């Protein structure tokens, strides 16, 4: 168990030290939300109506952007091979890395959402529901992402392939996530999103570990 914590701790340290990318992702997240009004106009009621969708798109794109780093750095410097000789099974190694990745890429986005709420004239109630939807949905997103990152880890130019691969798979997360804000279908969407996120989070470490083993050969 101490290895599990040590792995999470190391990944957090690397992400927030100089050269880490955690803060850059937040910046990207805010930027996506900033450019939308330029495209559709600054009309407040309209922005407010579209805001949850915009936040989800911004979150989606920033999470996909950060995906490539999940296993690549550890693969290139050999850490991934050595981690396979640790007392943790590879599935647990993947799970620890996914948790760290969520803490580094998703949590800062959640912290930044009030800024987006202000910019996009969201009501506080709207903001609260969007954050709740993101809290439930982002573990699912990260888990789909882990799968994509594991599958493309052996490719020299996998950076673009993983997002293209994962985006269609993760569409249900977006559908239910935005659906949670629908006053009529909201509660149903919430349950679907919880179920989806749980199942994906539970299964992806096994699938990703399988892919990493295959990539190691």
Partner 1 sequence: MTLASGDLGSLGMAVMNQPHRPSEAFAPHLRVRGLTIRRGERLLFEDLAFEVRAGGVLLVRGPNGVGKSTLLMALAGIVRPDAGTIEGVERTRLHLLNYRSGLKPRLTVAENLKFWRAMHGATGLDEDAALEVVGIDGLGGLEAGYLSSGQLRRLALARLLVSKRPVWLLDEPSAALDAEGEALLGRLIDAHRASGGIAIVATHHDLMLADAAGVETLMLGGGA
Partner 2 sequence: MSVDTVKQPNWFSRLAHPGQFLAWSRYLIWPLGIATALSFAIGLYFAFFNSPEDYQMGDMVRVMYVHVPNAWLSQLVYGVMAVSALGTLVWRHPLADVANKAAAPLGAVFTALALYTGALWGRPTWGTFWEWDGRMTSTLVLLLIYLGIIALWRAFDDQLKAGRIIAIVTLVGALNLPVIKFSVDWWNTLHQPASVFTASGPHMPISILTPLLVMMLAFTLLFALLQVVRMRTEILRRRAETLSRQAALGATK
Give the residues lining the site for partner 1 (CB under 8 A). Answer: 2-3, 5-7, 10, 13-14, 17-20, 74, 76-79, 81-88, 216-217
CA 61-136-11 angle, to 5 degrees, is 65
Contact present, 186 and 57 (Cβ < 8 Å):
no
Task: Name which of 18 and 184 has its Cβ closer to partner 2.
Answer: 18
Question: Choosing among partner 2, partner 1, none, which partner's interface includes residue 10 (Cβ < 5 to 8 Å by kind)?
Answer: partner 1
Q: Does residue 79 belong to the site contacting partner 2 (CB under 8 A)?
A: no
Question: Choosing among partner 1, partner 2, none, which partner's interface includes residue 14 (Cβ < 5 to 8 Å by kind)?
Answer: partner 1
Kindly tell me the burial class for residue 149, based on how many C-beta atoms sit within 10 Å of its own C-beta (0-12, 13-18, 19 or more): buried
Q: Does residue 73 belong to the site contacting partner 2 (CB under 8 A)?
A: no
Query: Alpha-carbon dihedral of residues 182, 67, 145, 157, nearest 10 degrees?
Result: 130
Please identify which residue in 12, 14, 34, 50 interacts with partner 2, judged by CB under 8 A: 34
Residue 105, C-beta contacts closer than 8 angstroms, at least 6 positions apart: 22, 25, 62, 63, 66, 142
Q: Which stretch binds partner 2 (CB under 8 A): 13-21, 104-112, 140-148, 165-173?
A: 13-21
Q: Does residue 23 belong to the site contacting partner 2 (CB under 8 A)?
A: yes
Question: Choosing among partner 1, partner 2, none, which partner's interface includes residue 37 (Cβ < 5 to 8 Å by kind)?
Answer: partner 2
Please identify which residue in 6, 9, 13, 43 interacts with partner 2, judged by CB under 8 A: 43
The CA distance from 184 to 198, in Å, is 23
Contact present, 150 and 83 (Cβ < 8 Å):
no
Q: Which stretch binds partner 2 (CB under 8 A): 24-32, 82-90, 130-138, 160-168?
A: 24-32
The DSSP secondary structure of 19-70, one letter per residue, reads: T-SHHHHHHHHHHHHHHHHHHH---HHHHHHHHHHHHHHHHHHHHHHHTTHH
Task: Name which of 89 and 128 has its Cβ closer to partner 1.
Answer: 89
The CA distance from 211 to 110, in Å, is 30
Q: Which one-letter DSSP state was computed for residue 76?
A: H
# residues contacting partner 2 (CB under 8 A) = 19
Task: Name which of 53 and 154 has its Cβ closer to partner 2.
Answer: 53
Where along the sequence are the contacts to partner 2 (CB under 8 A)?
A: 18-21, 23-24, 27, 30-31, 34, 37-38, 41-44, 118-119, 121
């Amino acid at each position: 168990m101490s290895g599990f914590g040590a792995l999470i701790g190391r990944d957090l340290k690397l992400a927030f030290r100089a050269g880490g990318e955690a803060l850059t992702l937040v910046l990207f997240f805010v930027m996506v939300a900033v450019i939308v009004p330029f495209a559709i106009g600054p009309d407040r009621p309209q922005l407010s109506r579209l805001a949850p969708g915009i936040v989800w798109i911004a979150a989606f794109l920033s999470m996909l952007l950060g995906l490539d780093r999940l296993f690549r750095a550890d693969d290139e410097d050999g850490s991934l091979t050595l981690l396979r000789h640790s007392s943790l099974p590879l599935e647990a190694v993947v799970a620890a890395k996914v948790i760290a990745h969520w803490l580094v890429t998703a949590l800062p986005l959640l912290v930044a959402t009030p800024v987006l709420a202000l910019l996009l004239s969201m009501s506080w109630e709207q903001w609260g529901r969007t954050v709740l939807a993101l809290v439930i949905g982002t573990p699912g997103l990260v888990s789909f992402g882990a799968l994509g990152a594991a599958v493309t880890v052996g490719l020299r130019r996998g950076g673009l392939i993983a997002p293209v691969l994962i985006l269609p798979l993760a569409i249900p997360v977006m559908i239910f996530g935005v659906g949670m804000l629908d006053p009529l279908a909201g509660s149903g969407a919430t349950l679907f999103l919880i179920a989806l996120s749980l199942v994906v989070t539970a299964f992806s470490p096994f699938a990703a570990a399988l892919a990493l083993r295959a990539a190691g050969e």
